Amino acid sequence: MVLQSGEKKIRVLISKAGLDGHEVGAKVVARALADAGMEVIYTGLRQTPEMIVDTAIQEDVDVIGISILSGAHMFFLPEILKLLAEKNADDIPVIAGGVIPVEDIGELKKAGIKEIFPAGSTMQEIVSYVKKLYQERQD
Amino acid sequence: MSMAEAVLQGEIRAISRLISKIENGEPDALEQLKQLYQHTGNAVVIGLTGAPGAGKSTLTNQLISNYLEKGFKVAVIAVDPSSVFTGGGVLGDRIRMPQVHKNLYIRSLATRGYLGGLSKAIGKTIKVLDAAGYQRIIIETVGTGQSEIEIRNFAQVVVVVNTPNMGDDIQTLKAGIMEIGDIYIVNKADLPEADRTVSDLIKMSQIVGPKHGGWMPPVLKVIAADGTGVPELVAEIEKYYLYASSAGVLSMNKLAMAKNELMEELKEAILAEALQKLQENGKWEECSSQVAKGELDPWTGAEHLLKCLKQ
Ligand SMILES: Nc1nc2c(ncn2[C@@H]2O[C@H](COP(=O)(O)OP(=O)(O)OP(=O)(O)O)[C@@H](O)[C@H]2O)c(=O)[nH]1
Ligand SMILES: [Mg+2]
């Protein structure tokens, strides 16, 4: 219809978990997703799992993207999944990127993280994966 | 349980989902809103407007803390622009509001091409949050375009956020700015020239004179970065709200808001119906291409279409 300015947009949360102060990577990803037409809720640094899960639910996002460089991914990511489940929101897919050693990827995926994008992943890969996740949720 | 019932119980996921449905223009949203409407009218809606970077989000964060401490349920609607080119956007106001509290709900809305500089969903989103029991609803506008004026249609209290060093520009500030606010603040009062900006604003508000016959908009110095002046600001917000209630300003505004709301809905419904009809009978395309070819001027074209509708 001509009038509907209302049109479904993909909403993504991009958050930085952990105590390190580097957010360039997360910002680049946020920008790339926005350039692909998505609405990106960007929360900046030092988010706790509670903050991330609360924000995801309040913002009704379709995908949660976590950037971690601090090495604490084996704590943060499972904690986020646990809180999502507690709040009946584990239907929201979680992806992660940053500095995550290859040997941890298997375990994180088994825990429920949909995909890991280690340093060196291209923006295109991330954008199309987010679109795919969104599509899967619609079906 | 229906979505509306869940919203009334304060269920966050239901609230969030319903706001998305509203944003996406899903027809089901209206059915839920109809059920919620009778439960609205209890929230105080506070609009914050001011140029990009003036400190609106930082200030919102301070207002959140202050109201939470007082025991209120607080909701924030932070509006950010969508890109005209991609339709996407980075909504970053939450960076300055890193708070988790059971009585706090924050939602970022993109303008999605809405010309008013707010979000088309704003009015209905306020209704949802009001029905869900949020007692103070803070709206952060994008601070550009029409949003400064448009916020008047939704907020009962409008706070205009200024910063020092607007220097001589303040004299040439957009005409009408002094008519928009109920309260003016000079944020970043830790920077030089704050006092001068305050006295400039006071001078200007004196020229405009009291609003509604009895309210002289106060000009306050605030440092949102550390909370200085925030208790005074909250006190003025509450004071204005009481004034506006007792002076009949709010009920006057209510009628204006009701007209505005009905007008928007009606415009949309009538136009949708009209376009559907004209598209079905082919007149829309026929007339458009005639105008495009220069065979018909758009004014005669529109008159012609209107006649077709009346048949
Ligand atoms: N010196 C000083 N800086 C401040 C103060 N309040 C906010 N800032 C800074 O001003 C910048 C913008 O603050 P925001 O709160 O994001 O401003 P905003 O009006 O929400 O910005 P937009 O949403 O982008 O329009 C940030 O770098 C803040 O740290 C203050 O009281 N003093
Ligand atoms: Mg802001």
Domain boundaries, chain A: 11-138
How much is the mean pLDDT over chain B?
Answer: 91
Cβ within 8 Å, pair B275-A58: no
**Contact assessment for residue B186 and residue B222, using Cβ atoms and an 8 Å cutoff:** yes
Domain boundaries, chain B: 3-247, 259-310
Q: Is B14 on the interface with A (CB under 8 A)?
A: no
Written as six digits, the tokens of B222 are 């605030």
Instruction: Tell me which of 3.30.710.10, 1.10.150.120, 3.40.50.280, 3.40.50.300 is the CATH number of domain A11-138.
Output: 3.40.50.280
Chain-chain contact of A34 with B88 (C-beta, under 8 angstroms)? yes
Q: Which residue of B has its CA nearest to A30?
A: B90
Ligand 1 atom closest to Cα of residue B93: 23
- Name beta bridge partners: A116: A96
Atom 7 in ligand 1: residue holding the nearest Cα: B55
**Residue B9 above 90 pLDDT?**
yes
CATH superfamily of B3-247: P-loop containing nucleotide triphosphate hydrolases (3.40.50.300)
CA atoms within 13 A on the CB side of B187: 25
Q: Is the ipTM of this complex over 0.90?
A: yes
Q: Do B13 and A38 touch (CB under 8 A)?
A: no
Q: Specify the ligand 1 atom closest to the Cα of B142.
A: 25
Which pLDDT tens digit goes with each residue over A65-91? 999 887 788 889 999 999 999 999 999
Q: Do A55 and B89 touch (CB under 8 A)?
A: no
Ligand 1 nearest atom to the CA of residue B58, by list position = 15
Mutate to test the interface with B, among A45, A58, A138 (most CBs of B within 10 A): A58
Strands (DSSP E) found in chain B = 44-49, 74-80, 89-91, 104-110, 136-140, 157-162, 183-186, 219-221
Q: Do B272 and A3 touch (CB under 8 A)?
A: yes
**A67 to A85, A102, B104, B135: CA distances (angstroms):** 20, 15, 25, 35
Q: What is the pLDDT of residues B241-262, one digit of tens each?
A: 999 999 888 888 888 888 888 9
How far apart are alpha carbons B304 and A91 in whole angstroms? 52
pLDDT of A12-53, one tens digit each?
999 998 777 788 889 999 999 999 999 999 998 889 999 999
Specify the 3-state DSSP secondary structure of B197.
helix
A61 contacts in B (CB within 8 Å)?
none
- pLDDT score, position A3: 36
From chain B, the residues in CB contact with A59 under 8 A are 16, 107-108
What's the mean pLDDT when you consider all of chain A? 90
> Hey, whose CA ends up nearest to atom 12 of ligand 1?
B53
Give the per-residue pLDDT at A1.
30
Min Cα separation B88/chain A (Å)? 4
Residue nearest to atom 21 of ligand 1 (CA): B53
Q: CB distance B95–A88 less than 8 Å?
A: no
DSSP B248: T
CB nearest B108 (choices: A6, A37, A59): A59
Region of residue B176 (phi > 0: left; psi between -120 and 50: alpha; otherwise: beta) = left
Q: What is the pLDDT of residue B297?
A: 96
Among A5, A46, A58, beta carbon nearest to B114: A5
